[in-house]
Structure 1
Amino acid sequence: MIRKCFLLAAGILLIRMMADAQDVKGKVVDASQAPVESVTVVMQTIDSTFVDAVITDIDGSFMLKQHPDKYRLIFQHLLYQTQIKEYSGEDAGIIMMQEQDYALDEVVIKGERPQVKVENGALVYDVSVLAEKSTVSNAYESILRLPGVMEQNESISLSGAGNVTVILNGKPSSMTNDQLVNLLKNMPVSNVAKAEVMYNAPAKYRVRGAVINLVLKNTKSEEPFVRGEVGTEYMQARYANGSGHANLSFVGKKLSADILYSADYQKRIIDNDIISHHKIGDIIYDIEQYNKGERRGLTHNMRAALDYQLSENDHLNMAYTSAITPNRKAVEKSSGNFSESSNSKMGDEQMHNVNVDYTSSLGLNVGLDYTYYNYPSTQDYINKTESSEQLFLADASQTINRWNVYAGQTHNLPSDWELNYGINFTFAKDKSSQIYRPQDGSDMSGLNTCTDLKEETYNFYGGVEKSFNDNLSLSLSVAGEYYKLMNYKKWAVYPAMQLSYALSDSHIFQLGFSSDKTYPEYWTIQESVSYMNGYAMLLGNPGLRPSTDYTAELTYVLKNKYMFNVYYSYIKDLFNQLAYQSPDKLALIYQTINYDYEENYGATATIPFSVGGFWNSQITLDGSILKDVCDSFHAIRFKRTKFRGIAMMNNTFKLFSEPDIRLELNSMYVSSFIQGIYDVSPIWKIDAGLKWTFAGKKAELKLKANDLFDSFNPDTKINYKGQNLIMNQRRDSRNISVSFVYKFGGYKAKEHKSVDTSRFGF
């Protein structure tokens, strides 16, 4: 541990010594000293050469990343007189603008704001434009309206890039998917300034691959005030579900603090039918098992956060986050011609996270993140066949302690070059066990497991960015990583590149390349056996390896509106869970295994259009060819290729302006596709929503219906080299919900650094 701390201290000291001030900042006010929003601030050299341009935020503040020795600033706004001033320092101070002395009479100006822009290699979307053309009311829903973004089982993916990481204000999230979704659903869309989509994120973001960065609005105020929000939702699927939340925030000039609490009760079905033609030797056994069950639990999410502004651009953030689910329970009963079984699992799950983050005006960012996760559970299992009976209790437990320390530095260099570099170290310890207690007199001691895993990840990164002119920009970065899990050790290098070229304002091209590594969940690498019913079991895989993927893509943006994308990805050692009929016994084995590789190439087109001010629509089409290759899947080799097509159409109809009532009608179709030896059936769905905003936009009543025709549950078949199986899964895809939200005190939800527990649990 001393060696680790020394490495961290040395890295931080080196970064700090090389730090250097670099930004030009200031604030624009009117004659009454009130801040002026949306002022265009143009930077020029003294000889009138364009350097950069920004727009003031809600507090009238602006920041320019360029810093010539001498420069000119031009302040422009339709309602104010233009101001031109020359400077030589970093602080432009307070600029007061005078109102125009003319009035416009009966003049109507109509125009359409661009849907997408390219800034520093990222596709940038004005979220307010997306929100005003739809019924979205929170940050999560705004993400789903971005071109190419898809959702399935509340998992977000991006066409051409697969899984995508959501970060807030340029900082990576360490939340589980469920916790992140909950946070974004409780964040009003009015608090999001813009969304930046990066198919190939630079290494400075400390995440690799595709990224969606939500840039939130300023949360400081000259006059302190308290604000808040309360809301509730009722959802009816097969069972009734409900949630409620309350947020309270204090916002001041230097200090802001917030407290969040939400309770979410979920009760969902887990039905799964298995029709198996199981071959042992020359005999085929026809097995039918029908599994019906449910999962339920009440999750308490709590958060307390503090943000203190030490000086103009020095911030200290501290946060505590927890998610506690007592008495989480899953019950499944299986009946059929092979066995009758009952499987009940109950446990108490909890996660606690503490994060401290410091950002300096000198471009330095350092932080410490600690997560504790614990999930003890007990399984009560009964299985009966014509010739035998099996009864046991199984006590399982997983306890994880994880530390993450990081530091990063950014410098602006001459000739518009930017240099960034940093370190990111993670140390994790996972202690898991599974102890069987047979109730039928049998001996199951051979299945007992107790593991103590230690994982270390050392990451060093560096990158450069350059804007050659208004039309051409380049970003290059590389991350070196040393990974150690018990006896497995691996050095790896991950390059990333992004090149943007604007032929004109109407024709923008973007070429990118990235690489990444994905690690399996901790429980999948345990040497464990879990019984699901009398026929199916789940095996761990201690030999499971991380996967490495390489992605290249070319994007064309037409008229800041229409998007076309071609892409290619190659994933070495892709890991996935597949089912396998044992050749030695009547058992269906689920296990996560490594493919040799997966290859995917395709194209995406996004076409938005509108009809007057009544109908706004967006069509997304994606087609790709997928190839899965594995030489050693239980002595079966597969090499399979399949085309997959996706079509989405989102529509919003503005029924009334006063009162503000909007109707949304969305549809999605996915053609049949493959997953290893699986053949997955086509799926489609239609969603509808109605939103009424009233009480001065402080109150919102929303009615939603998802998957109206209950058609988004795929059927899976296997008929490959002796494996013959049909699996039909039924989830709560169809549901109807009604929600109400009320904001008071001018509430805008505050950004939160989230907690990554994506590899916890089992």
Structure 2
Amino acid sequence: MKLKQVITLFFFTALSYSALAQAPKTSISGKVIDSTTQEAIYYATISLHPVADASKLNGTIADEKGSFSLDNLSPGKYNIAISFLGYKTKTFTDYILKPGDNNLGTILVEVNENELDEVVIQGERPIIENKIDRLVFNAERDVTSSGGDATDVLRKVPMLSVDIDGSVSMRGDQNVKILINGKSSAAMGNNVGDVLRTIPADQIKSVEVITSPSAKHDAEGTSGIINIITKKKDIGGINGSISGGVGTRHNNGNASLNARKGKLGIVTNLGGNYMWPQITTNEFEQFTIAGDPTVRQYSENETTRSGLRGSIGLDYDLTDKDLLSTTFSANGFEMGMDGSTSSEFFLPNNVITSLLSNRNQTTSSDGFDWSADYTRKFEDPKRELTIAGQFSRNNGDTDYTTLYVEGMRLDEIGENNSHNDELAFQADYVQPIGKTTLEFGAKTIFRDITSTSLIKEGTNGNYVLVDDSSYEFNYNQDVMAGYVSYGFEFAEKYEVKTGVRMEHTILNGDAVGDFEAFKNDYTNVLPSVILSKQLGQMSNLKLSYNQRIQRPSLFFLNPFRNTADPIIQQQGNPELKPELSHNVELGYSTFKKGTIINASIFYRRTNDVIESLSQIDSTTSPGQQISLTTFDNIGTNESFGTNLFVSYSPIKNLTLRSNISLFTYEAKGNSFNEEISTQTDKMHLMYRAFINGSYKISNTFIAETFLMLNSSQRTFQGTSPSMSMWTIGFKKELWDKTASIGLNITDPFWENTYFKTEVFTPDYTQTNRMKLPFRSFGLTFSYNFGKADSKNKTRRERGIKMDDQKKEESNPALGQNSGA
């Protein structure tokens, strides 16, 4: 909401009581929409006063649907004005309000071309917007994320948390589907954190947290959907921005350009990031159930990380009702680790053997996404047909060389090359029927995954291929889906959106090593329903239920065993089954006198939960135990939780925001840890919390601080690390707010941060402690250029939405993704 409108709203509220004492009473209502796009004008201001007495000013604002109502008015003749920044004011002079309800109907407002520049530069929306199926976090108003990346932004979004590896959780569940501008990327299947690091925070307009997806959305993501919307100016002319940051740990830069003339629009973006080399250490210990040591390891690595992402999008108006658009994006990132490892094995009779090794490992990924869609609009602006297609390719490589000191073991070279191709087609149709809306559509995804592994062993540079560890794995996954969704209003201020989605999955995988070839297919019928009740003008209550599915991605399926580390190793499981969840949520939100409150309680039951499984493997090197991490369907998890977000301005120019999430974890029905069920098979309470304060020192100078606290995460075998972070930021706007400079500080009093992972099994326990440099100082800058020269042209989001697989979970014990 614009500052001017907030002040006006408060002014209206303070004066409205003067009209309440008269009788009889009347009311006024209506709906405000854009005359060009036919979309609702959220937060349009409605003001009115009696013709005879202009001092008796009254008013309200429109909700997210553009609807408004104002009660307790006295009948009579009024002057009414409907306004919103960037639009021409709509007036009703000498309008007679009669007893009862006076409905102004649908009010069309036109864009004011002379104010376009003001809209682009000064437009400001509330930090949080609550809609029937989602919560919207407007990231443009954030200060301390400037110069950072998408992970910095997501940490400040209610209900979300991001761990040290960049893995995202929604209310404690990492099974979340992440979209970028409503579209997915095959790269998300390998490492979500690396993809998010290539998206500059300065380019993020908003983040949508969809906790109650309708049947139209893919059913993937047992906890919900996150849609990251980047900045784009759908206005004529040429404009763009340059931004970046230079710091003691991270550096990044980004450039974007928007051009539109007539029916053609082009949007381009190029960004990259680079992390200075940093030293990370890992201490690993393993004990018998009686407490005797079995393995101890210490490693020290120099870690580097870099990423690059670029995109170009074109849209063209074939006619006033036929729209065509296409987008091509490419990305690439790389992480390198170079260091030494000292390992000790505690054998019977107090015998201790040592193993020294040096490792150099590079993990890289590159790929592209190409999408095209066609939209047909009709006379009724709510009626729409969309046909879309998308092709994605992602290539992942893991190459390592491990050299053992003094010939204790054969040296090893490992190579794993993986390819993930995804082809999808989708058709959606929206048909309004009176005050109701019917939606239906279909979608198909063809996914082809290949993983080739080569392992060589030798001494003095003479290597021989190890046949038992070298293979080519092929995996195909095809998904066919159809849905129908129906939305309607009933009674007074009640709204319902219900639907059902059916998905049929066909799997086909090769035999590799200990894994047999398999074929499988299954069908899921997934219902969803959302009931919303408007409570007054700016409050609502929501109750929802849905079923969702989470198929494992390449990270979990890949049978490649990374043996670069002599003790801590990892291997995927091609035989994993998908997760299925039932979700119930009750939510409440309100906006009143500068205070935003968003509260919810939820229940989630997930069957066939996929988690990491730690076990001992003594087959590779007799007498030397190896901690092997793989993945399995460990049983059922029931989780209850609550989330509370509050934004409050106690004094002028100061805004405080806080969020706390409490949720439980209870693994049931697993057969892995029956002997230690007292430690793992019980309910555990966890939390995620942050507090964020910003102070407007002047019209162009803002200071902000952010403190985050995350408890350790429970797994059925133990715990993953807790995390805390404190940032301070300052931002100074220059040159009529077209440019800015800033200073960001992270954990100024702590140079390093420690992360602890624990595993409990019937036979042993193990602990991994990782130390990372975390303190950082950074300078940021941004510059916006260009000028609008035609009518604002906002378009509805459209196109294909994919990315329907379980993403990589963090596992710091492996030491493969260290480095923030």
Rounded Cα–Cα distance in structure 2 between residues aligned with 1:98 and 1:296:
49
Q: Contact 1:83 / 1:97 at 8 angstroms: preserved in 2?
A: no
Q: Report matched runs for 1:190-589 at 5 Å.
A: 192=205, 196-206=208-218, 208=220, 209-213=223-227, 219-221=233-235, 224-237=236-249, 241-266=250-275, 267=277, 269-278=279-288, 284-325=292-333, 329-337=336-344, 338-346=354-362, 349-362=365-378, 363-384=384-405, 388-414=408-434, 416-440=435-459, 444-468=466-490, 471-486=493-508, 487-505=519-537, 507-559=539-591, 561-582=596-617, 585-589=624-628
State the shift of 1:734 in Å: 3.2
> Structure 1: any 5+ residue segments left out of the alignment?
1-22, 29-35, 43-51, 57-61, 65-73, 100-111
State the shift of 1:343 in Å: 2.3
Q: Which amino acid aligns with 1:242?
A: N
- Of all paired residues, the percent bearing the same amino acid is 16
Q: Residues 273 and 63 of structure 1: is their aligned pair in 2 closer, same or farther, counting only changes over 3 Å? A: same
**Equivalent residue number for residue 52 of structure 2:** none
Rounded Cα–Cα distance in structure 2 between residues aligned with 1:162 and 1:375:
22
With 501-510 and 207-216 compared, the bigger mean Cα shift is at 207-216
**Equivalent residue number for residue 639 of structure 2:** 600
State the shift of 1:466 in Å: 1.0
Does the alignment pair 1:185 with 2:204?
Answer: no
SS at match of 2:500: strand
Write out per-residue CA displacement over residues 711-744 of structure 1, whole angstroms, 9 at most, x where no aligned residue.
7543122344222211112334433222111111
State the superposition RMSD in angstroms. 4.1
Rounded Cα–Cα distance in structure 1 between residues aligned with 2:278 and 2:179:
29
Rounded Cα–Cα distance in structure 2 between residues aligned with 1:219 and 1:91:
27
SS at match of 1:446: helix
Q: Contact 2:673 / 2:761 at 8 angstroms: preserved in 1?
A: no
Q: Contact 1:496 / 1:514 at 8 angstroms: preserved in 2?
A: yes
Rounded Cα–Cα distance in structure 1 between residues aligned with 2:753 and 2:600:
26
Rounded Cα–Cα distance in structure 2 between residues aligned with 1:469 and 1:688:
49
Match of 2:729 among 659, 683, 689: 689
Q: Which amino acid aligns with 2:526?
A: Y
Rounded Cα–Cα distance in structure 2 between residues aligned with 1:546 and 1:401:
20
Question: How high is the TM-score relative to the length of structure 2?
Answer: 0.73
State the shift of 1:567 in Å: 1.0
Q: Contact 1:684 / 1:711 at 8 angstroms: preserved in 2?
A: no
Q: Contact 2:551 / 2:805 at 8 angstroms: preserved in 1?
A: no
Q: Which amino acid aligns with 1:717?
A: E
**Equivalent residue number for residue 159 of structure 1:** 171
Q: Residues 731 and 574 of structure 1: is their aligned pair in 2 closer, same or farther, counting only changes over 3 Å? A: farther
Write out per-residue CA displacement over residues 36-65 of structure 1, whole angstroms, 9 at most, x where no aligned residue.
9986699xxxxxxxxx97899xxxxx999x
State the shift of 1:262 in Å: 2.2
Q: Contact 2:506 / 2:522 at 8 angstroms: preserved in 1?
A: yes
The count of residues paired between Structure 1 and Structure 2 equals 677
**Equivalent residue number for residue 74 of structure 2:** none
Q: Contact 1:383 / 1:389 at 8 angstroms: preserved in 2?
A: yes
State the shift of 1:185 in Å: 2.5
**Equivalent residue number for residue 150 of structure 1:** 161
Q: Which amino acid aligns with 2:561?
A: V
State the shift of 1:244 in Å: 1.9
State the shift of 1:640 in Å: 3.6
Does the alignment pair 1:652 with 2:672?
Answer: no
Q: Residues 435 and 122 of structure 1: is their aligned pair in 2 closer, same or farther, counting only changes over 3 Å? A: closer
Rounded Cα–Cα distance in structure 2 between residues aligned with 1:366 and 1:156:
30
Rounded Cα–Cα distance in structure 1 between residues aligned with 2:555 and 2:501:
27
Question: How high is the TM-score relative to the length of structure 1?
Answer: 0.78
Rounded Cα–Cα distance in structure 1 between residues aligned with 2:608 and 2:552:
11
Q: Which amino acid aligns with 2:82?
A: Q
**Equivalent residue number for residue 350 of structure 2:** none
State the shift of 1:364 in Å: 0.9
Q: Which amino acid aligns with 2:340?
A: K
Rounded Cα–Cα distance in structure 1 between residues aligned with 2:474 and 2:761:
38
State the shift of 1:519 in Å: 2.0
Write out per-residue CA displacement over residues 353-385 of structure 1, whole angstroms, 9 at most, x where no aligned residue.
211111211411111111122234532122358
Write out per-residue CA displacement over residues 77-135 of structure 1, whole angstroms, 9 at most, x where no aligned residue.
388451599xxxx9999969999xxxxxxxxxxxx99765654444456x3xx755865
Q: Contact 1:432 / 1:450 at 8 angstroms: preserved in 2?
A: yes
Which of the pair has the greater relative contact order for Cα pairs under 8 Å at 6+ separation?
2
Q: Contact 1:202 / 1:463 at 8 angstroms: preserved in 2?
A: yes
Rounded Cα–Cα distance in structure 1 between residues aligned with 2:109 and 2:691:
47
Q: Residues 483 and 521 of structure 1: is their aligned pair in 2 closer, same or farther, counting only changes over 3 Å? A: same
Rounded Cα–Cα distance in structure 1 between residues aligned with 2:618 and 2:673:
10
Match of 2:660 among 621, 638, 645: 621
> Structure 2: any 5+ residue segments left out of the alignment?
1-31, 48-60, 69-79, 96-104, 115-123, 345-353, 379-383, 509-518, 809-815
**Equivalent residue number for residue 610 of structure 1:** 649
Does the alignment pair 1:728 with 2:769?
Answer: yes
Rounded Cα–Cα distance in structure 2 between residues aligned with 1:599 and 1:179:
30
SS at match of 2:566: coil
Write out per-residue CA displacement over residues 408-443 of structure 1, whole angstroms, 9 at most, x where no aligned residue.
1111013x1111111111111112111122214777
SS at match of 2:577: coil
**Equivalent residue number for residue 99 of structure 2:** none
Q: Residues 650 and 365 of structure 1: is their aligned pair in 2 closer, same or farther, counting only changes over 3 Å? A: same
Q: Report matched runs for 1:691-706 at 5 Å.
A: 691-706=731-746
Q: Which amino acid aligns with 2:216?
A: K
Q: Which amino acid aligns with 1:273?
A: E
Q: Which amino acid aligns with 1:389?
A: R
Rounded Cα–Cα distance in structure 2 between residues aligned with 1:687 and 1:578:
35
SS at match of 2:559: coil
Rounded Cα–Cα distance in structure 2 between residues aligned with 1:667 and 1:543:
41
SS at match of 1:439: strand
Q: Contact 2:140 / 2:202 at 8 angstroms: preserved in 1?
A: no
Rounded Cα–Cα distance in structure 1 between residues aligned with 2:736 and 2:729:
21
